[in-house]
Structure 1
Amino acid sequence: MARAVEVPFKPLWTKRILKETYRIQTGSLDWEPRRAMSFRASLSDQYPTNRVSGYERYLPLCRNGEPGGHVLACALAARADKIVTHSLRNFRAERLAPWAGRVLHPDDYLLELYLLFPECVLRILRAHEVATEELLSTLAPHAPEFAKAVLADETHIDGTLH
């Protein structure tokens, strides 16, 4: 996970969110436990001050219940303006009060970042040890529109991926 200062990206999490993420990664996403732990370590290393505490006091305000209540409480505690999740069904508009932010699928969020900051996103993708095309192939099942947009733009620029 490469970090670019130019892109306004501030991942936030709680201990509970990280546990849930690990469970999903090693469960339905079929990640190896070592890979999931590496992901968690990367977040902690690259964003050491982004863990949110004190979110529990917002739990009574969150009407979306489990499993998304603690995520919404984290967003409230951190004053986040977005929640990025595959579980959109847990965040229906009528259940999001008192929060005024947006809930986005990861594909929509990545595509939005790419449209706003294309050079920065490409620089991040190219900074990985694997080829950009291979990385996008890995992302495509989870972020198909993002992968398609980057592939189309990259091959259009000079006929190859960098």
Structure 2
Amino acid sequence: MRLVLDACVLFPDTVRAVLLDHAAAGGFTPLWSDRIAEEWARAAERRMGGGAAARAQAALMAARFPGARVTGWEAHAAIAGLPDAADAHVIAAAVAGGADGIVTFNTRDFPLRIMAAHGLARLHPDEFLRLEYAPGGPIDAALDRLATPDLRRWLKHSGLPRLAKARAAARG
């Protein structure tokens, strides 16, 4: 499965780490455009003064996933009917990259009818990771590497409450 990662799932370090570790283990093929990577870096700069760090992370991500960068998306950017026209580039990247869907926290910005018209699924990262979660699997291993004292609380804070609940249930 080929999935475009929206900037909003790249900015929270926890979400990005778990998604990319799952991708590295073969769970899916991640995709993003330079514009998505730049949007992520700008968000990190605004919120935490970490734009340079985000750009460095983007370079590491590009090295880890050399086929992830989508180009030529501009030819597909004329998408009408979006609540926020500024999000057209994300759908355009998905179309240009031959993606199956988009992983985003901003589900309201990507109406299902528009996604379906482009043959794309809209996936919330919490639901996607919960459905992909298996005890002892790559997502579980990624969560173990986070080394956070109260992981369940941290996951909830990061927008992944269903994943936190699934992991807690699996661990008893």
Category of TM-score, reference length = shorter chain: 0.7 to 0.9
In the TM superposition, what is the alpha-carbon distance from 1:87 to its structure 2 partner? 1.3
Q: Is the 8 A contact 1:4 1:124 kept in 2?
A: no
CA deviation map 1:35-57 (0-9, x unaligned): 53353233212102210001111
CA deviation map 1:51-81 (0-9, x unaligned): 0001111112x22362210000111111111
2:93 maps to 1:77: no
Q: Is the 8 A contact 2:41 2:52 kept in 1?
A: no
Cα distance between partner residues in 2 of 1:139 and 1:34? 25
Aligned-pair Cα RMSD in Å: 2.6
* Cα distance, 1:136–1:47 mapped onto 2, change above 3 Å: farther
Cα distance between partner residues in 1 of 2:58 and 2:69? 12
In the TM superposition, what is the alpha-carbon distance from 1:100 to its structure 2 partner? 1.5
In the TM superposition, what is the alpha-carbon distance from 1:12 to its structure 2 partner? 0.6
**Which residue of structure 1 aligns with residue 11 of structure 2?**
none
In the TM superposition, what is the alpha-carbon distance from 1:108 to its structure 2 partner? 1.2
Cα distance between partner residues in 1 of 2:77 and 2:26? 30
In the TM superposition, what is the alpha-carbon distance from 1:93 to its structure 2 partner? 2.0
**Which residue of structure 2 aligns with residue 139 of structure 1?**
155
Cα distance between partner residues in 2 of 1:13 and 1:121? 21
| Structure 1, 131-140 or 100-109: larger mean CA deviation | 131-140
Instruction: Provide the aligned length of Structure 1 versus Structure 2.
Output: 150
Q: Is the 8 A contact 1:12 1:51 kept in 2?
A: yes
Residues 24-43 of structure 1 correspond to what in structure 2 (within 5 A)? 24-28=43-47, 30=48, 32-33=50-51, 35-43=53-61
Gaps of 5+ in 1: 157-162
* Cα distance, 1:27–1:146 mapped onto 2, change above 3 Å: farther
**Which residue of structure 2 aligns with residue 23 of structure 1?**
42
* Larger relative strand fraction: 2
TM-score by length of 1: 0.76
2:125 maps to 1:106: yes
| Structure 1, 1-10 or 92-101: larger mean CA deviation | 1-10
Q: Is the 8 A contact 1:108 1:146 kept in 2?
A: yes
**Which residue of structure 2 aligns with residue 93 of structure 1?**
112
In the TM superposition, what is the alpha-carbon distance from 1:124 to its structure 2 partner? 2.9
| Structure 1, 2-11 or 144-153: larger mean CA deviation | 2-11
In the TM superposition, what is the alpha-carbon distance from 1:6 to its structure 2 partner? 4.6
* Cα distance, 1:136–1:46 mapped onto 2, change above 3 Å: farther
Which structure carries more relative contact order (alpha carbon 8 Å, separation 6+)?
2
In structure 1, the residue corresponding to 2:122 is in which secondary structure? Answer: strand
Identity of aligned residues (%): 30
Cα distance between partner residues in 1 of 2:108 and 2:97? 22
In structure 2, the residue corresponding to 1:122 is in which secondary structure? Answer: helix
Gaps of 5+ in 2: 1-16
In the TM superposition, what is the alpha-carbon distance from 1:110 to its structure 2 partner? 1.3
